[in-house]
Chains A and B, each alone.
Chain A
Amino acid sequence: MKLSYYPGCTMKNHARNFEESTLFSLQELGVEVEELKRWNCCGTVYSLSADEVMHQVAPVRNMIRAKEAGADQLMTACSMCYNTLKRANARARANPEQLSRMNAFMYDEPIDYQGDVEVVHALEVVRDQIGFDAVKKKVVKPLKGLKVACYYGCLLVRPREIAFDDSENPTVLEKLVAVLGGTPVEFSHKMECCGAYQTVDKPEIVADKTYQILTAAREQGANIVAVSCPLCAFNLDHRQEVTLQIHPDLHTMPIVYFSQLMAIALGGDESVLRLDLHHTPPGPLLTESGLL
């Protein structure tokens, strides 16, 4: 299987751990991944205004790049990129008039976009195209000892019309963790927002959210949290520093991407885990569990 891949900006710097582990895992699972040439930033957030066509151009332009690569599917692993690309694509498809305005604006592109690219998330590829049974057969290091709180954040499964799992109680991450030999815990805060972009100018609010989310995870028996979004990862992991200043009774906890859990179970070494990019180090727990 060959897939066109859209990384997004953060995968290329702060979230190298996300990218390296995703690419390693997909390779182990027999998927050939080809990064789009000349991809551009999706804009990170979908424009919610009804009259806003201009901000849909950036995400939609990436669909043209996918067509140029001969692909009819475009895969991304970042929740925010996924949400923005998928929603802009859905809007372009549902509004031929808006799509023709976008195409007119992109007159210097060699082709018009016809609405014929499907945006898919890496988790969706693993679940629906590879299949959990096939993943299970490839596990060489079951995640024994990891009690995982699966944290979805907001943009992976909202709104309903672009979601590939239930919008209120998704379970795809728990199923993956179980297939990898880990123990998913029941987690009350799996859909509770981390504060998202408020982290830039209101980190104290994110600190409250991080405190609530990680305290719930710990009380419900988790020793690690799995995420699918680099912004969630930054808020839940790197913001533990300011969280500790405001809430000194916080029990710090390692935050990892679901792809890092896959990479560990599929036999990846530290070069694809990039644990140096974490704030609260996952190393001690992984070593204690015999996974490093």
Chain B
Amino acid sequence: MTAHITRHHLRTAFVTKVQRLAGQNLMACYQCGKCSAGCPMASYMDILPNQIIRLAQLGFEEELLNSKAIWMCASCLACNTRCPKGVRIAEVIEALRQIELRARHEHLKVEDIPPEVLSKIPPIALISSLRKFTS
């Protein structure tokens, strides 16, 4: 993607919030791309995990919060396990989801799940999905 970095983007309040929620120092990332290389969901993402970190460093709030990628992440922690800088990418993505969910922007509505799906899926699937995708 092409990104224009302006002073308007470097909004520190958003960056601070992401870092606080994730408990991570975003600036530790040196863009090696290892997180994206091993991400099982990368091919379904509009922005890749390493790009998520870069955009978060630079305060690209709308781009991140409106991305599909933050909802594609399966929290598998492969990225965290492999990052040579110890960045916990999954925590950063969780922080972005939390910013949306805490503003009551639900990704999933229970009433939209068809009854035939609800009757088949095990509780472990339903509860984890609701924990990740609803407030």
Contact = CB atoms under 8 A, between A and B. Distances in A.
B80 A231 contact: no
Interface residues of B, number: 38
Given A168-B81, A231-B128, A205 B41 contact: yes
A158 B124 contact: no
A154 to B, nearest CB: 4
| Tier of interface size on chain A | 35 or more
B124 A159 contact: no
Nearest to B122: A14
Contacts of B132: 45, 197
A1 interface: no
Nearest to A238: B120
Contact of B74 (A50, A51, A159, A196): A196
A244 to B, nearest CB: 16
Contacts of A191: 78
Interface string A166-195: 011000000000000000000000011101
Interface in A15-65: 15, 41, 43-45, 47-51, 55
A218 interface: no
A209 interface: yes
A78 interface: yes
B81 A160 contact: yes
B127 interface: yes
A196 B20 contact: no
B52 to A, nearest CB: 14
A47 B98 CA distance: 10
A112 to B, nearest CB: 26
A119 to B, nearest CB: 17
B21 A51 contact: yes
Contacts of B80: 158-159
A198 B98 CA distance: 17
Nearest to A9: B123
A93 B95 CA distance: 23
B101 to A, nearest CB: 10
Main DSSP-derived SS at the B contact region: helix
A179 B109 CA distance: 46
A49 B98 contact: yes
B21 A197 contact: no
A230 interface: yes
A159 B77 contact: yes
A211 to B, nearest CB: 13
A205 B44 CA distance: 8
Contacts of A41: 123, 127
A13 interface: yes
Given A44-B128, A160-B81, A201-B129, A192 B40 contact: yes
Contacts of B61: none
Among A43, A196, A205, chain B packs the most CB atoms within 10 A around the CB of: A196
A199 B117 CA distance: 10
A234 B81 contact: no
A49 B123 contact: no
User: What are the 8 tightest A-B residue pairs by CB atom distance, in nearest-first order?
Assistant: A50-B23, A193-B76, A14-B122, A48-B94, A197-B128, A200-B129, A197-B129, A193-B40
12 contacts: A41-B127, A51-B20, A154-B75, A158-B77, A159-B81, A167-B81, A168-B82, A193-B76, A195-B74, A197-B128, A200-B108, A200-B113
